[in-house]
Amino acid sequence: MTLNRSHAYFTPEESLESERVSPIQHEYLQGQRVAMARKSKAPAILDHALNAYLFPIAAEIDHPLEG
- Give the model confidence (pLDDT) of 37-52 as tens digits: 765 666 777 788 888 8
Asked whether 46 and 56 are in contact (CB, 8 A), the reply is no
Query: How many domains does the chain contain in total?
Result: 2
Task: Answer yes or no: do 26 and 49 share one domain.
Answer: no
pTM of the predicted model as reported, rounded to 2 decimal places: 0.42
Is 46 found in the same domain as 27? Answer: no
What local confidence, expressed as pLDDT, does residue 67 receive? 53
Cα separation, 11 vs 3, in Å, equals: 15
Same-domain pairing of 55 and 26 = no
Same domain, residue pair 54 and 30: no
Per the structure, the complete domain to which residue 9 belongs is given by 1-36
- Supply the pLDDT for residue 51: 81
CB contact set of 26 (below 8 Å; sequence gap of 6+): 15, 18, 19, 33, 34, 35, 36
What's the CA gap between 58 and 28, in Å, rounded? Answer: 42
